[in-house]
Amino acid sequence: MDSNLTQHQELLPEELQGSAVNLDLTLPGSTGRKFYIESYGCQMNFSDSEIVASILAQEGIQSTRNIEEADMIFINTCSIREKAEDSVRKRLKEFKPFKKNKPELVVGVLGCMAERLKAKFLEQEQLVDIVAGPDSYRDLPNLLKKADDGDKGVNVFLSREETYADIAPMRLDENGVTAFISIMRGCDNMCSFCVVPFTRGRERSRSSYTIVAEAEDLYLRGYREVTLLGQNVDSYKWVNPETNELTNFAHLLEMVAKVNPQLRVRFSTSHPKDITDEVLYTMAKYNNICNYIHLPVQSGSSRILELMNRTYDREWYLDRVSAIHKIIPECAISSDIITGFCTETEEDHRETLSIMELANYSMSYMFFYSERPGTPAAKKYKDDVSLEIKKERLNEIIRLQNRLSHHHNQADIGKTFEVLIEGNSKRSEDMFKGRNSQNKMIVFNKKGNYQPGDYVTVKVDSASSATLHGTITA
Protein backbone atom coordinates (compact mmCIF):
# COMPACT_ATOMS: atom_id res chain seq x y z
CA MET A 1 0.00 0.00 0.00
CA ASP A 2 1.38 3.31 -1.02
CA SER A 3 2.33 4.59 2.38
CA ASN A 4 -0.35 3.41 4.75
CA LEU A 5 0.98 5.61 7.52
CA THR A 6 -0.36 8.47 9.51
CA GLN A 7 1.32 11.38 11.15
CA HIS A 8 -1.90 12.48 12.74
CA GLN A 9 -5.09 10.41 12.52
CA GLU A 10 -5.55 8.35 15.68
CA LEU A 11 -8.37 6.13 14.42
CA LEU A 12 -6.52 4.54 11.53
CA PRO A 13 -5.49 0.87 11.52
CA GLU A 14 -2.28 1.76 9.71
CA GLU A 15 -1.07 3.91 12.57
CA LEU A 16 2.50 3.18 13.56
CA GLN A 17 1.73 1.80 16.96
CA GLY A 18 2.46 -1.75 18.00
CA SER A 19 -0.47 -4.05 18.50
CA ALA A 20 -0.18 -7.28 20.43
CA VAL A 21 -2.22 -9.98 18.73
CA ASN A 22 -3.04 -13.17 20.51
CA LEU A 23 -5.48 -16.03 20.75
CA ASP A 24 -5.03 -17.78 24.09
CA LEU A 25 -5.98 -21.09 22.51
CA THR A 26 -5.06 -24.56 23.69
CA LEU A 27 -4.29 -26.48 20.53
CA PRO A 28 -4.18 -30.24 19.90
CA GLY A 29 -0.64 -31.53 20.10
CA SER A 30 0.54 -28.50 22.02
CA THR A 31 4.24 -28.38 22.83
CA GLY A 32 3.55 -26.26 25.88
CA ARG A 33 5.52 -23.40 24.36
CA LYS A 34 3.91 -20.02 23.85
CA PHE A 35 4.51 -17.11 21.50
CA TYR A 36 3.71 -13.42 21.72
CA ILE A 37 3.55 -11.24 18.59
CA GLU A 38 3.31 -7.52 17.91
CA SER A 39 2.60 -5.90 14.55
CA TYR A 40 3.63 -2.46 13.33
CA GLY A 41 2.77 -0.51 10.19
CA CYS A 42 0.32 -1.33 7.43
CA GLN A 43 -2.67 -3.66 7.29
CA MET A 44 -0.61 -6.15 5.31
CA ASN A 45 1.66 -6.65 8.32
CA PHE A 46 -1.30 -7.37 10.56
CA SER A 47 -2.55 -9.85 7.97
CA ASP A 48 0.89 -11.47 7.80
CA SER A 49 0.89 -11.90 11.58
CA GLU A 50 -2.19 -14.08 11.15
CA ILE A 51 -0.23 -16.26 8.71
CA VAL A 52 2.63 -16.50 11.22
CA ALA A 53 0.20 -17.44 14.00
CA SER A 54 -1.26 -20.22 11.84
CA ILE A 55 2.18 -21.63 11.00
CA LEU A 56 3.22 -21.62 14.65
CA ALA A 57 -0.09 -23.20 15.70
CA GLN A 58 0.58 -26.07 13.32
CA GLU A 59 3.76 -26.66 15.29
CA GLY A 60 1.77 -26.88 18.52
CA ILE A 61 2.91 -23.49 19.77
CA GLN A 62 0.23 -21.55 21.62
CA SER A 63 -0.41 -17.84 21.59
CA THR A 64 -0.39 -15.71 24.71
CA ARG A 65 -1.31 -12.13 25.49
CA ASN A 66 1.01 -12.17 28.48
CA ILE A 67 4.52 -11.36 27.28
CA GLU A 68 6.00 -12.53 30.57
CA GLU A 69 4.96 -16.13 29.97
CA ALA A 70 6.08 -16.23 26.33
CA ASP A 71 8.83 -18.59 25.20
CA MET A 72 9.25 -16.58 22.02
CA ILE A 73 8.54 -12.98 21.11
CA PHE A 74 8.02 -11.86 17.52
CA ILE A 75 7.81 -8.31 16.26
CA ASN A 76 6.42 -7.79 12.75
CA THR A 77 8.05 -4.65 11.46
CA CYS A 78 7.54 -1.74 9.08
CA SER A 79 10.33 -0.04 7.16
CA ILE A 80 8.41 2.64 5.26
CA ARG A 81 10.10 5.48 7.11
CA GLU A 82 12.74 6.08 9.74
CA LYS A 83 10.26 6.74 12.54
CA ALA A 84 8.74 3.29 12.02
CA GLU A 85 12.13 1.62 12.38
CA ASP A 86 12.98 3.74 15.42
CA SER A 87 9.78 2.53 17.08
CA VAL A 88 10.84 -1.08 16.53
CA ARG A 89 14.36 -0.51 17.90
CA LYS A 90 12.94 1.16 20.98
CA ARG A 91 10.54 -1.73 21.52
CA LEU A 92 13.32 -4.30 21.16
CA LYS A 93 15.25 -2.61 23.96
CA GLU A 94 12.20 -3.14 26.17
CA PHE A 95 12.47 -6.89 25.54
CA LYS A 96 15.95 -7.10 27.12
CA PRO A 97 14.73 -7.66 30.72
CA PHE A 98 12.62 -10.62 29.54
CA LYS A 99 15.66 -12.14 27.80
CA LYS A 100 17.76 -11.60 30.92
CA ASN A 101 15.20 -13.33 33.14
CA LYS A 102 14.68 -16.16 30.63
CA PRO A 103 17.91 -16.79 28.64
CA GLU A 104 16.21 -19.42 26.48
CA LEU A 105 13.66 -16.84 25.26
CA VAL A 106 13.66 -16.56 21.46
CA VAL A 107 13.29 -13.08 19.96
CA GLY A 108 12.40 -12.81 16.29
CA VAL A 109 12.17 -9.84 13.94
CA LEU A 110 9.81 -10.35 11.00
CA GLY A 111 8.66 -8.36 7.98
CA CYS A 112 9.98 -5.40 6.03
CA MET A 113 12.64 -4.15 8.45
CA ALA A 114 14.03 -7.69 8.67
CA GLU A 115 14.14 -7.83 4.87
CA ARG A 116 15.84 -4.46 4.53
CA LEU A 117 18.58 -5.03 7.11
CA LYS A 118 18.93 -8.81 6.79
CA ALA A 119 21.80 -10.32 8.81
CA LYS A 120 22.94 -6.85 9.90
CA PHE A 121 20.06 -6.95 12.34
CA LEU A 122 21.77 -9.70 14.32
CA GLU A 123 24.86 -7.53 14.67
CA GLN A 124 22.94 -4.38 15.58
CA GLU A 125 20.51 -5.98 18.00
CA GLN A 126 22.33 -8.60 20.05
CA LEU A 127 19.20 -10.07 21.64
CA VAL A 128 17.64 -11.01 18.26
CA ASP A 129 17.75 -14.73 17.43
CA ILE A 130 15.62 -14.90 14.25
CA VAL A 131 15.33 -12.62 11.24
CA ALA A 132 12.64 -13.55 8.69
CA GLY A 133 11.44 -11.60 5.68
CA PRO A 134 7.80 -11.46 4.45
CA ASP A 135 8.25 -14.48 2.13
CA SER A 136 10.01 -16.69 4.70
CA TYR A 137 7.34 -17.44 7.25
CA ARG A 138 6.99 -21.09 6.22
CA ASP A 139 10.59 -21.50 7.35
CA LEU A 140 9.91 -20.31 10.90
CA PRO A 141 9.84 -23.85 12.37
CA ASN A 142 13.36 -24.48 10.99
CA LEU A 143 14.58 -21.08 12.18
CA LEU A 144 13.21 -21.85 15.65
CA LYS A 145 15.12 -25.13 15.72
CA LYS A 146 18.32 -23.25 14.92
CA ALA A 147 17.61 -20.77 17.70
CA ASP A 148 16.91 -23.62 20.14
CA ASP A 149 20.31 -25.09 19.24
CA GLY A 150 21.99 -21.79 20.06
CA ASP A 151 22.42 -20.56 16.49
CA LYS A 152 20.95 -17.52 14.76
CA GLY A 153 18.27 -18.11 12.15
CA VAL A 154 18.04 -15.88 9.08
CA ASN A 155 15.85 -16.26 5.98
CA VAL A 156 15.14 -13.19 3.88
CA PHE A 157 14.65 -14.92 0.53
CA LEU A 158 12.20 -13.03 -1.68
CA SER A 159 9.99 -15.30 -3.72
CA ARG A 160 8.28 -14.72 -7.06
CA GLU A 161 5.62 -17.32 -6.24
CA GLU A 162 4.85 -17.21 -2.49
CA THR A 163 1.29 -16.05 -1.70
CA TYR A 164 0.51 -18.27 1.35
CA ALA A 165 -2.73 -19.12 -0.49
CA ASP A 166 -2.90 -22.59 1.10
CA ILE A 167 -2.52 -21.35 4.68
CA ALA A 168 -5.71 -20.47 6.54
CA PRO A 169 -4.88 -17.37 8.60
CA MET A 170 -5.50 -17.63 12.32
CA ARG A 171 -7.76 -14.63 12.90
CA LEU A 172 -6.29 -12.36 15.52
CA ASP A 173 -8.91 -9.62 15.56
CA GLU A 174 -10.99 -10.29 18.63
CA ASN A 175 -14.18 -8.66 17.34
CA GLY A 176 -14.99 -11.61 15.06
CA VAL A 177 -16.78 -9.24 12.68
CA THR A 178 -14.17 -7.82 10.30
CA ALA A 179 -11.22 -9.57 8.67
CA PHE A 180 -8.45 -9.01 6.13
CA ILE A 181 -7.94 -11.19 3.07
CA SER A 182 -4.59 -10.86 1.32
CA ILE A 183 -5.19 -11.15 -2.44
CA MET A 184 -1.66 -10.46 -3.66
CA ARG A 185 1.84 -9.77 -2.46
CA GLY A 186 4.71 -7.53 -3.54
CA CYS A 187 4.75 -4.49 -5.78
CA ASP A 188 5.98 -3.75 -9.30
CA ASN A 189 5.62 0.02 -8.97
CA MET A 190 8.99 1.62 -8.44
CA CYS A 191 7.96 4.82 -6.69
CA SER A 192 11.26 6.56 -6.04
CA PHE A 193 10.58 7.16 -2.32
CA CYS A 194 9.35 3.65 -1.45
CA VAL A 195 11.12 0.59 -0.01
CA VAL A 196 8.22 -1.82 -0.57
CA PRO A 197 9.48 -3.36 -3.86
CA PHE A 198 12.77 -4.11 -2.08
CA THR A 199 11.24 -5.49 1.12
CA ARG A 200 8.24 -7.37 -0.31
CA GLY A 201 9.47 -8.35 -3.74
CA ARG A 202 7.75 -8.57 -7.10
CA GLU A 203 4.00 -8.56 -7.56
CA ARG A 204 2.10 -11.86 -7.62
CA SER A 205 -1.61 -12.63 -7.24
CA ARG A 206 -3.41 -15.39 -5.39
CA SER A 207 -5.84 -17.75 -7.04
CA SER A 208 -9.29 -16.16 -7.11
CA TYR A 209 -10.78 -19.48 -5.98
CA THR A 210 -8.80 -19.50 -2.73
CA ILE A 211 -9.78 -15.89 -2.06
CA VAL A 212 -13.49 -16.59 -2.56
CA ALA A 213 -13.23 -19.75 -0.44
CA GLU A 214 -11.64 -17.72 2.36
CA ALA A 215 -14.43 -15.15 2.16
CA GLU A 216 -17.07 -17.89 2.25
CA ASP A 217 -15.44 -19.48 5.29
CA LEU A 218 -15.31 -16.15 7.10
CA TYR A 219 -18.99 -15.50 6.42
CA LEU A 220 -19.98 -18.92 7.73
CA ARG A 221 -17.97 -18.23 10.89
CA GLY A 222 -19.93 -15.04 11.56
CA TYR A 223 -17.71 -12.40 9.97
CA ARG A 224 -19.64 -9.71 8.14
CA GLU A 225 -16.92 -7.62 6.51
CA VAL A 226 -13.76 -8.44 4.59
CA THR A 227 -11.05 -6.10 3.33
CA LEU A 228 -9.16 -7.29 0.26
CA LEU A 229 -5.51 -6.34 0.71
CA GLY A 230 -2.70 -5.71 -1.74
CA GLN A 231 0.05 -3.19 -2.29
CA ASN A 232 -1.90 -2.24 -5.41
CA VAL A 233 -5.17 -4.17 -5.64
CA ASP A 234 -6.07 -2.71 -9.02
CA SER A 235 -3.20 -4.58 -10.64
CA TYR A 236 -4.52 -7.94 -9.39
CA LYS A 237 -4.33 -10.47 -12.22
CA TRP A 238 -4.66 -14.21 -11.93
CA VAL A 239 -4.62 -16.58 -14.89
CA ASN A 240 -6.33 -19.95 -14.40
CA PRO A 241 -3.67 -22.49 -15.40
CA GLU A 242 -6.33 -24.94 -16.66
CA THR A 243 -8.48 -22.59 -18.76
CA ASN A 244 -6.03 -19.72 -19.32
CA GLU A 245 -8.86 -17.39 -18.28
CA LEU A 246 -7.80 -14.06 -16.76
CA THR A 247 -9.39 -12.72 -13.57
CA ASN A 248 -8.77 -9.03 -13.00
CA PHE A 249 -9.61 -7.01 -9.91
CA ALA A 250 -13.10 -6.00 -11.12
CA HIS A 251 -13.92 -9.68 -11.68
CA LEU A 252 -12.55 -10.65 -8.27
CA LEU A 253 -14.47 -7.88 -6.55
CA GLU A 254 -17.70 -9.15 -8.07
CA MET A 255 -16.93 -12.75 -7.12
CA VAL A 256 -16.41 -11.81 -3.46
CA ALA A 257 -19.49 -9.55 -3.43
CA LYS A 258 -21.57 -12.52 -4.60
CA VAL A 259 -20.54 -14.64 -1.61
CA ASN A 260 -23.44 -13.15 0.33
CA PRO A 261 -25.26 -9.79 0.23
CA GLN A 262 -24.72 -9.55 4.00
CA LEU A 263 -20.94 -9.68 3.62
CA ARG A 264 -19.49 -6.23 3.20
CA VAL A 265 -16.47 -5.88 0.92
CA ARG A 266 -13.73 -3.25 1.19
CA PHE A 267 -10.31 -3.07 -0.44
CA SER A 268 -6.98 -1.30 -0.07
CA THR A 269 -4.94 0.14 -1.67
CA SER A 270 -5.78 1.51 -5.11
CA HIS A 271 -3.20 3.09 -7.41
CA PRO A 272 -4.41 6.09 -9.46
CA LYS A 273 -2.72 4.80 -12.61
CA ASP A 274 -4.58 1.47 -12.47
CA ILE A 275 -8.06 2.01 -11.04
CA THR A 276 -10.49 1.48 -13.92
CA ASP A 277 -14.07 2.44 -14.68
CA GLU A 278 -14.79 -1.30 -14.70
CA VAL A 279 -13.92 -1.43 -11.00
CA LEU A 280 -16.07 1.63 -10.30
CA TYR A 281 -19.08 0.22 -12.15
CA THR A 282 -18.69 -3.06 -10.25
CA MET A 283 -18.73 -1.11 -6.98
CA ALA A 284 -21.87 0.74 -8.07
CA LYS A 285 -23.57 -2.53 -9.03
CA TYR A 286 -23.34 -4.21 -5.62
CA ASN A 287 -24.71 -2.61 -2.46
CA ASN A 288 -22.38 -4.67 -0.26
CA ILE A 289 -19.24 -3.24 -1.87
CA CYS A 290 -18.51 -0.24 0.31
CA ASN A 291 -18.55 3.28 -1.14
CA TYR A 292 -15.03 4.10 -0.10
CA ILE A 293 -11.75 4.26 -2.02
CA HIS A 294 -8.30 4.93 -0.64
CA LEU A 295 -6.59 6.67 -3.57
CA PRO A 296 -3.11 7.95 -2.59
CA VAL A 297 -2.07 11.13 -4.38
CA GLN A 298 1.25 11.75 -2.57
CA SER A 299 1.58 15.21 -4.19
CA GLY A 300 -0.60 17.59 -6.13
CA SER A 301 2.29 18.75 -8.29
CA SER A 302 2.88 17.01 -11.63
CA ARG A 303 6.57 17.90 -11.40
CA ILE A 304 6.94 16.23 -8.00
CA LEU A 305 4.85 13.25 -9.11
CA GLU A 306 7.29 12.70 -11.96
CA LEU A 307 10.23 12.80 -9.56
CA MET A 308 8.38 10.31 -7.39
CA ASN A 309 7.89 8.06 -10.45
CA ARG A 310 4.19 7.82 -9.72
CA THR A 311 3.47 7.41 -13.49
CA TYR A 312 0.47 9.75 -13.46
CA ASP A 313 0.12 13.51 -13.31
CA ARG A 314 -2.23 15.93 -11.59
CA GLU A 315 -4.72 15.89 -14.48
CA TRP A 316 -4.87 12.09 -14.59
CA TYR A 317 -5.51 11.93 -10.85
CA LEU A 318 -8.30 14.51 -10.98
CA ASP A 319 -9.86 12.61 -13.90
CA ARG A 320 -10.01 9.48 -11.73
CA VAL A 321 -11.56 11.48 -8.89
CA SER A 322 -14.14 12.86 -11.31
CA ALA A 323 -14.95 9.35 -12.54
CA ILE A 324 -15.44 8.13 -8.96
CA HIS A 325 -17.84 10.96 -8.14
CA LYS A 326 -19.73 10.45 -11.41
CA ILE A 327 -20.14 6.68 -11.18
CA ILE A 328 -20.45 6.41 -7.37
CA PRO A 329 -21.83 9.77 -6.17
CA GLU A 330 -21.86 8.74 -2.49
CA CYS A 331 -18.27 7.45 -2.51
CA ALA A 332 -15.80 8.82 0.03
CA ILE A 333 -12.17 9.18 -1.01
CA SER A 334 -9.14 9.19 1.27
CA SER A 335 -5.50 9.69 0.43
CA ASP A 336 -1.81 9.51 1.34
CA ILE A 337 0.15 12.75 1.22
CA ILE A 338 3.91 13.30 1.43
CA THR A 339 5.14 16.81 2.04
CA GLY A 340 8.68 18.07 1.61
CA PHE A 341 9.82 15.66 -1.09
CA CYS A 342 13.11 16.48 -2.82
CA THR A 343 13.13 19.95 -4.50
CA GLU A 344 9.52 20.66 -3.44
CA THR A 345 8.80 24.39 -3.72
CA GLU A 346 6.12 26.50 -2.10
CA GLU A 347 4.23 26.39 -5.40
CA ASP A 348 4.36 22.57 -5.42
CA HIS A 349 3.05 22.60 -1.86
CA ARG A 350 0.17 24.91 -2.85
CA GLU A 351 -0.76 22.48 -5.62
CA THR A 352 -1.01 19.71 -3.04
CA LEU A 353 -3.30 21.85 -0.90
CA SER A 354 -5.48 22.63 -3.91
CA ILE A 355 -5.81 18.99 -4.99
CA MET A 356 -6.88 18.08 -1.46
CA GLU A 357 -9.76 20.54 -1.75
CA LEU A 358 -10.68 19.49 -5.27
CA ALA A 359 -10.75 15.81 -4.30
CA ASN A 360 -12.49 16.67 -1.01
CA TYR A 361 -10.86 13.88 0.99
CA SER A 362 -12.80 12.46 3.90
CA MET A 363 -9.47 11.75 5.62
CA SER A 364 -5.79 11.36 4.81
CA TYR A 365 -2.58 9.75 5.96
CA MET A 366 -0.18 12.68 6.17
CA PHE A 367 3.54 12.80 6.85
CA PHE A 368 6.71 14.55 5.76
CA TYR A 369 9.24 12.90 3.48
CA SER A 370 11.68 10.53 5.16
CA GLU A 371 14.55 9.40 2.96
CA ARG A 372 14.91 5.62 2.96
CA PRO A 373 18.32 4.05 2.23
CA GLY A 374 18.55 2.18 -1.04
CA THR A 375 15.54 3.77 -2.72
CA PRO A 376 15.90 5.48 -6.13
CA ALA A 377 15.18 8.86 -4.50
CA ALA A 378 18.01 8.37 -2.00
CA LYS A 379 20.38 7.52 -4.84
CA LYS A 380 19.33 10.19 -7.34
CA TYR A 381 18.02 13.20 -5.43
CA LYS A 382 19.19 15.39 -2.61
CA ASP A 383 16.87 15.60 0.40
CA ASP A 384 17.07 19.38 0.22
CA VAL A 385 13.91 20.57 1.98
CA SER A 386 14.70 21.49 5.56
CA LEU A 387 13.00 19.67 8.42
CA GLU A 388 11.57 22.98 9.63
CA ILE A 389 9.86 23.62 6.27
CA LYS A 390 8.68 20.01 6.05
CA LYS A 391 6.98 20.32 9.43
CA GLU A 392 5.45 23.70 8.58
CA ARG A 393 3.97 22.33 5.37
CA LEU A 394 2.80 19.16 7.09
CA ASN A 395 1.01 21.18 9.76
CA GLU A 396 -0.71 23.20 7.04
CA ILE A 397 -1.81 20.00 5.32
CA ILE A 398 -3.10 18.58 8.60
CA ARG A 399 -5.08 21.76 9.34
CA LEU A 400 -6.67 21.63 5.89
CA GLN A 401 -7.53 17.95 6.19
CA ASN A 402 -9.09 18.54 9.61
CA ARG A 403 -11.25 21.24 8.05
CA LEU A 404 -12.23 18.99 5.13
CA SER A 405 -13.00 16.08 7.47
CA HIS A 406 -15.03 18.31 9.75
CA HIS A 407 -17.04 19.66 6.80
CA HIS A 408 -17.50 16.10 5.47
CA ASN A 409 -18.85 14.89 8.78
CA GLN A 410 -21.00 17.94 9.48
CA ALA A 411 -22.75 17.29 6.16
CA ASP A 412 -23.79 13.86 7.50
CA ILE A 413 -25.74 15.28 10.46
CA GLY A 414 -29.39 14.32 10.06
CA LYS A 415 -28.65 11.52 7.60
CA THR A 416 -29.22 7.84 8.29
CA PHE A 417 -26.73 5.09 7.46
CA GLU A 418 -26.58 1.33 7.58
CA VAL A 419 -23.87 0.55 10.13
CA LEU A 420 -22.18 -2.74 10.91
CA ILE A 421 -21.72 -3.08 14.67
CA GLU A 422 -18.08 -3.90 15.39
CA GLY A 423 -18.18 -3.81 19.18
CA ASN A 424 -18.33 -1.52 22.17
CA SER A 425 -17.08 2.04 21.99
CA LYS A 426 -13.69 2.48 23.65
CA ARG A 427 -15.08 5.31 25.75
CA SER A 428 -18.26 3.69 27.03
CA GLU A 429 -19.65 0.19 27.48
CA ASP A 430 -23.08 1.72 26.95
CA MET A 431 -22.29 2.66 23.35
CA PHE A 432 -21.63 0.66 20.19
CA LYS A 433 -19.19 1.57 17.44
CA GLY A 434 -19.26 0.69 13.77
CA ARG A 435 -18.61 2.09 10.31
CA ASN A 436 -20.88 3.08 7.49
CA SER A 437 -20.22 2.28 3.84
CA GLN A 438 -18.03 5.39 3.52
CA ASN A 439 -15.68 4.01 6.20
CA LYS A 440 -16.67 6.65 8.74
CA MET A 441 -16.67 5.56 12.36
CA ILE A 442 -20.01 6.08 14.10
CA VAL A 443 -20.57 5.81 17.87
CA PHE A 444 -24.19 5.22 18.87
CA ASN A 445 -26.44 4.14 21.70
CA LYS A 446 -27.13 0.52 22.55
CA LYS A 447 -30.73 -0.41 21.90
CA GLY A 448 -32.68 -3.66 21.77
CA ASN A 449 -30.84 -6.97 21.53
CA TYR A 450 -28.34 -6.01 18.87
CA GLN A 451 -24.90 -7.63 18.93
CA PRO A 452 -21.59 -7.13 17.12
CA GLY A 453 -22.02 -8.40 13.58
CA ASP A 454 -25.57 -7.02 13.25
CA TYR A 455 -26.51 -4.30 10.81
CA VAL A 456 -28.47 -1.36 12.19
CA THR A 457 -29.79 1.91 10.83
CA VAL A 458 -28.26 4.88 12.63
CA LYS A 459 -29.23 8.54 12.40
CA VAL A 460 -26.33 10.95 12.83
CA ASP A 461 -27.00 13.52 15.56
CA SER A 462 -23.60 15.25 15.82
CA ALA A 463 -20.08 15.00 14.44
CA SER A 464 -16.45 15.88 15.06
CA SER A 465 -13.70 15.83 12.44
CA ALA A 466 -12.95 12.18 13.31
CA THR A 467 -16.21 10.57 14.46
CA LEU A 468 -19.95 10.64 13.89
CA HIS A 469 -22.35 10.25 16.85
CA GLY A 470 -25.82 8.89 16.35
CA THR A 471 -28.90 6.98 17.47
CA ILE A 472 -30.23 3.60 16.34
CA THR A 473 -33.50 4.07 14.50
CA ALA A 474 -33.98 0.48 13.28
pLDDT at 351: 98
Domain assignment present for 1: no
Do the beta carbons of residue 228 and residue 251 sit within 8 Å?
A: no
Q: For the chain, give the number of residues.
A: 474
Compute the distance between CA of residue 259 and CA of residue 218 in angstroms, rounded to an integer. 10
Write down which residue in 379, 410, 441 finishes a domain: 410
Domains contained in the chain, number: 3
Residue 55: which of 143, 119, 152, 161 has the closest Cα? 143
pLDDT score for 82: 85
CATH number of domain containing 126: 3.40.50.12160
Spatial contact of 11 and 40, defined as CB atoms under 8 Å apart = no
- pLDDT (mean) for 212-232: 96
Interval 307-318: pLDDT, tens = 999 999 999 999
Can you give the pLDDT at residue 29? 60
CA atoms of 55 and 37, how far apart (whole Å): 13
pTM: 0.89
441 lies in some domain: yes
Residue 448: pLDDT band (50, 70, 90) is confident
Residue 153 Cα distances to 125, 137, 146, 417, angstroms: 14, 12, 6, 51
Tell me whether residue 173 is in a domain.
no
149 with 192, same domain: the answer is no
C-alpha 228: how far from its chain's center? 10
Is the Cβ–Cβ distance between 234 and 279 less than 8 Å?
yes
pLDDT at position 24 is 38
Task: Flag whether 168 is in a domain.
Answer: no
Position 30 confidence tier, pLDDT thresholds 50, 70, 90: low
Q: Are residues 332 and 225 in the same domain?
A: yes
Q: Which residues are bridge partners to 91 per DSSP?
A: none
Provide the domain limits for residue 90. 19-155
Do residue 352 and residue 396 come from a single domain? yes
- Given 155, 186, 219, the domain boundary residue is 155
Helix (H, G, I), strand (E, B) or coil at 137: helix
Query: What is the strand order of the sheet 225-229 is part of?
Result: 178-182, 225-229, 264-268
Q: What percent of the chain has pLDDT over 90?
A: 83
**Lowest mean pLDDT across 22-36, 144-158, 174-188:** 22-36
Distance CA 39, CA 108 (A): 12
Q: Express each pLDDT in 65-84 by its tens digit.
A: 899 999 999 999 998 888 88
Residue 214 lies in a domain: yes
With respect to residue 344, please indicate whether it lies within any of the assigned structural domains. yes
In a domain, 104, yes or no: yes
Low-confidence winner among 1-15, 85-99, 146-160 (lowest mean pLDDT):
1-15
Residue 440 scores a pLDDT above 90? yes
Query: What's the pLDDT at 161?
Result: 92
The Cα 102–Cα 108 span in angstroms is: 15
Same-domain status, 336 and 364: yes
Structure confidence by residue, pLDDT tens digits, 183-220: 999 999 999 999 999 999 999 999 999 999 999 999 99
User: Would you state the pLDDT for residue 171?
Assistant: 83
Does residue 169 belong to any structural domain of this protein?
no
Burial environment of residue 94 by CB neighbours within 10 A (0 to 12, 13 to 18, 19 or more): exposed
Among 27, 4, 1, which residue's Cα sits nearest to residue 15?
Answer: 4
Residues 298 and 368 in one domain: yes
* pLDDT score of 237 more than 80: yes
Residues 289 and 308 in one domain: yes
CB proximity list for 85: less than 8 A, separation 6 or greater: 77, 78, 79, 113
Same domain, 370 and 434: no
Instruction: Say what the pLDDT of residue 80 is.
Output: 84
